[in-house]
A and B are shown apart, each in its own frame.
Chain A
Amino acid sequence: MTTIETTNEHDEGATRRDFLNVFAVVGSAVGTAAFVWPLVDQMNPAADTLALASIEVDLSAVEEGQSVKVKWRGKPVFVRHRTAAEIATAKADDGASDLKDPESDADRVTAGKEQWLVMVGVCTHLGCVPLGQQGEYGGWFCPCHGSHYDTSGRIRKGPAPKNLEVPSYSFLSDTRVLIG
């Protein structure tokens, strides 16, 4: 051993050894990191979960003044066929001073289909499911901590910070909507 070490000190072999050391360490680090990713990524939603990420809803049976509650990504989604009076109130309140999260009614529905209001039915406060057509604004009321939403699902009173979330959705036809 002594002989070999002595020889190395005197020739260019030392830099070769350094290179091999650095290469081994960096190579192992990159290899380990690459292997760690599958260990982490397996936690993310699986293919079958993602396959259910969007749903189609048939609206033909929902009369004016009625709502349906559908399950989307494990959460309730409200689809409300609003009455003319509800739409009028929602539009009239666009400039109301008590809007905590100001948004116009037009921004929350699809143009030309103002009667359909599609929202995730999860209170933006602590995640409860609000009750429909209740509360001081005739929209939704959360029984948990008393948040009042109007006929456009906008927060008007109570502890919730945001309006009820409008998911991304599109109309496939006049009576079919694709959520997600």
Chain B
Amino acid sequence: MAHGPTFEPKNSVLKWTEERLPIFGLIHGSLGPGYPAPRNLNYWWNFGSLAGLCLVIQIITGIILAMHYTPHIDMAFDSVERITRDVNYGWLMRYMHTNGASMFFIAVYIHIFRGMYYGSYKAPREMLWMLGLVIMLLMMATAFMGYVLPWGQMSFWGATVITNFFSAFNDLYAGSGNGDGLGDMVVSLLLGGFSVDNPTLNRFYSLHYLLPFVITGVVILHIWALHIPGSNNPLGIDMKGKQDKIPFHPYYTAKDGFGVFVFLAIFAMVIFYAPDSMGHPDNYIPADPMVTPAHIVPEWYFLPFYTILKSFTIDFIITAKFWGVIAMFASIILLFFLPWLDSSKVRSAQFRPVFRFFFWVLLVDLVVLTWIGAKSADEIIFMDIQAVTIGQVATFWYFFHFFFLLPVLSRVEKTLPLPESIASAVIKDKA
């Protein structure tokens, strides 16, 4: 465990408490002067604490919204409108919560890409990386179920499309073809009926309230796992001595605090000036099981995975639909194996020029996947090329990057010489 100076309270009350429950020492060692951090952390390291802030905002606003929300198909939509129009500051709570989800994903996605660029997933931080992915998966489930609660058209049809993924299991056991296949059984187990209905809304509400606390538990494990090896840094080399370290408090509490203000300023602009910019207008139409919206799209943070799902159009042994579902889950699960897919001993992309180039290519690829996800499959993008074709190329590249490029590259790439220590590199930079 990365140790700094131990906590020695002077105050007699603190001392009395500390002897019985060493909680102040825990805080001191995790976020205080007792946590020695590398001296060269840049602003990309702010996004962990920002994600934590988002979790707190979501839990507080969410508990408040739950005091005014009614989880019933006949009343849910109206209760959300009532929160927006009639409840004191209800509009603020609601827009903080809806946009807070987007801000949470922005923070977490940047946090993940920072880890990928600087090799934070590599030994000895594999467990830290995997716990982070567990948090991301839990966030996705929570966000999906939360989006269903306002019971608008996109809530309803999004839930219909996403729960129907599981009907792909009919490929394994189709039954009589009259609703008794394995997939049908899984879907009706999830929905509590034959379609998205009141039982579905109720269970999603229950789980949407539960999961953030599960996330909090995994966040604690994530921070615990962080404090064993300590933070990675932009150079990706280990801290060697005192000259490489500074105490977390006051240095990084101040730096994180500055980031919080910038982040909250952007968040406030979204809430006050464009609160519906990241939502879909169709969700202001109450859910109607008899009419589908012309174009069903998930929230922006699911779009890359939605494109991967839609990119499989040819039946091969199993149906195209099943391939799509498998690929979509695989695109996330493969990240758990990233520490082993990339076997290079050098962590930071600063010293891996070829890796760095392909990192940015991957980022562009994900932008393309996001952009295509919002299009309908047969939309013509340019010339005669349909959206689905571009999505297929981008999907191919995504898997090619992780399953071929990265394993090969990490074995053959000639890396640049690493600096002797963090301190020497930092001092050379300044000189």
Contacts and interface: CB of A to CB of B under 8 A. Distances in A.
Pairing of A with B: yes
Interface of A: 40, 43-46, 49, 53, 69, 71, 73-76, 123, 126-129, 143-146, 159, 161, 167-168
Contacts of A168: 178
B161 A43 contact: no
B203 interface: yes
A128 B289 CA distance: 10
A142 to B, nearest CB: 9
B164 interface: yes
Nearest to B296: A126
A45 B194 CA distance: 8
A76 B192 contact: no
Interface in B344-382: 376-378
Interface of B: 157, 160-161, 164, 178, 188-197, 199, 203, 289-292, 294-296, 313, 315, 319-321, 376-378
Nearest to B195: A74
Contacts of B319: 161
Contacts of B199: 45-46, 49
Where chain A touches its partner, the secondary structure class is loop
Q: Which of B189, B292, B319 has the most CB of A within 10 A?
A: B292
A161 B291 contact: no
B86 to A, nearest CB: 30
B292 A43 contact: no
Nearest to B294: A143
16 contacts: A43-B190, A45-B188, A46-B192, A49-B192, A49-B194, A49-B199, A53-B194, A75-B194, A76-B289, A76-B290, A126-B161, A127-B164, A129-B291, A159-B377, A167-B178, A168-B178
A165 to B, nearest CB: 9
Given A126-B296, A143-B294, A43 B289 contact: no
Contacts of A76: 289-290
A138 to B, nearest CB: 21
Nearest to A124: B321
Contacts of A71: 289-290
B218 to A, nearest CB: 22
A73 B195 contact: yes
Nearest to B200: A74
Q: Which of B164, B196, B289 has the most CB of A within 10 A?
A: B289
A44 B290 contact: no
Nearest to B190: A43
A161 B320 contact: yes
B189 A44 contact: yes
A73 B188 CA distance: 11
A168 B188 CA distance: 18
A145 B194 contact: no
Contacts of A46: 192, 199
Nearest to A69: B290
A71 B117 CA distance: 52
Contacts of B376: 144-145
A129 B288 CA distance: 11
Nearest to A44: B189
A108 to B, nearest CB: 13
Contact of B292 (A49, A69, A128): A128
Contacts of A44: 188-189, 192
A127 B157 contact: yes
Given A43-B189, A127-B164, A146 B289 contact: no
A45 B193 contact: yes
A168 B175 CA distance: 14
Contacts of B195: 73-75
B378 A43 contact: no
A74 B289 contact: yes
A82 B191 CA distance: 34
